[in-house]
Amino acid sequence: MTVDLLSVENFLCELAINKIGPIIKNKSGTQKTYDMKTGSRRVDIVTEIDKQVEKLIWDSLKSKYPNFKFIGEESYVKGVTKITNDPTFIVDPIDGTTNFVHDFPFSCTSMGLTIDKEPVVGVVYNPHLDLLVSASKGNGVRINGESFDYSTKITSMGSLTLNKSVIALQPGSQREGANFQTKMATSENLLAVDGGFVHGFRNLGSSAMSLVYTAIGYLDGYWDGGCYSWDVCAGWCILKETGGIVVGANPGEWEIGVDNRSYLAVRGCSNVGEQIEYIEKFWGCVKGTLNYD
């Protein structure tokens, strides 16, 4: 099957701007009743708006692309839902639901397409900032519909160096156990003068926004675990189109799938060797192992 990726990208952009974005913006901060998807010892929030927006997206995509498969955060069934080689939309209706509940303006919709399990289209729209970032394989990146000159941006940023970088880190919804301990110990080590000694870290509360900000050069990297394919699919495609790279969060994980559950994303740079050195130094700061089996 031959898929016009740019056409898919454009359709997702229109869907994001015209149908999804207004709902997210208007309903942000209004949801006082919500569920905890993963039990009382986690903070993984879901609202009725998440479910409504996912249905809206699925209905729209099914009408336009009836032969494509669909994976959404709210319809996911553990152990049953699988990514195949078929063209598959992978969607997070509202990424950053905690931000959405608290009216912090970093909630967005994230819609990606995979073919042969590879992210090939990505659209992320934050209606609070009126920021639409999109890409499709081989077609570059657009910000609010205008081509993004990432080569000039990369050149202006200079060398990619761990101790001169700003990275995105998030505690995640799981607040106990080995994974939480690994996240906290690694965060401390990255900040420490005798560790990575990075300039700082930022918690945007949204994997999609963290990947997008890495792609367009606001961040140098993003390290996280506990995410799902819908959190990273769209942003992964966007990042790759700017020369960025996604590897595993744990040392030595050079080749991973979109459903790996833990990730290290690094921005593009003029020298691929710098990316490799950056990743290896970053991995040297990881204390423990992230495991979400």
Residues involved in catalysis: 73, 92, 94-95, 97, 231
By residue count, the chain amounts to: 293
**What is the spatial distance between Cα 211 and Cα 150, in angstroms, rounded to a whole number?**
14
Measuring CA to CA, how many Å separate 19 from each of 60, 122, 131?
A: 10, 17, 15
Tokens of 102: 């608290």
Q: Which residue, among 282, 281, 209, 211, has the nearest Cα to 240 in the 3D structure?
A: 211
Q: What totals of helices (H) and strands (E) does the chain contain, helices first?
A: 9, 14
Q: Quick check: helix, strand or coil at residue 124?
A: strand
252 closest CA partner among 224, 286, 215: 286
In whole angstroms, give the CA distance from residue 124 to residue 109: 6
Residue 150 and residue 212 in contact, taking contact as beta carbons nearer than 8 Å: no
Annotation-wise, does 94 bind a ligand?
yes
92 is in an annotated binding site: yes
SS3 142: strand
| Cα–Cα distance measured from residue 108 to residue 100, given in angstroms and rounded to the nearest whole number | 9
Q: Is 73 annotated among the ligand-binding residues? A: yes
Neighbours of 65 (CB within 10 A): 16
d(CA 45, CA 36): 5
Residue 169 and residue 205: Cα distance in Å, rounded? 9
To the question of whether residue 35 is assigned a binding role by annotation, the answer is no
Alpha carbon of residue 244 to chain centroid:
13
Structural tokens at position 191: 């900040």
C-alpha to C-alpha distance for 181 and 178, rounded to whole angstroms: 5
User: Residue positions in the annotated binding site for Mg(2+)?
Assistant: 73, 92, 94-95, 231
User: Residue positions in the annotated binding site?
Assistant: 73, 92, 94-95, 231
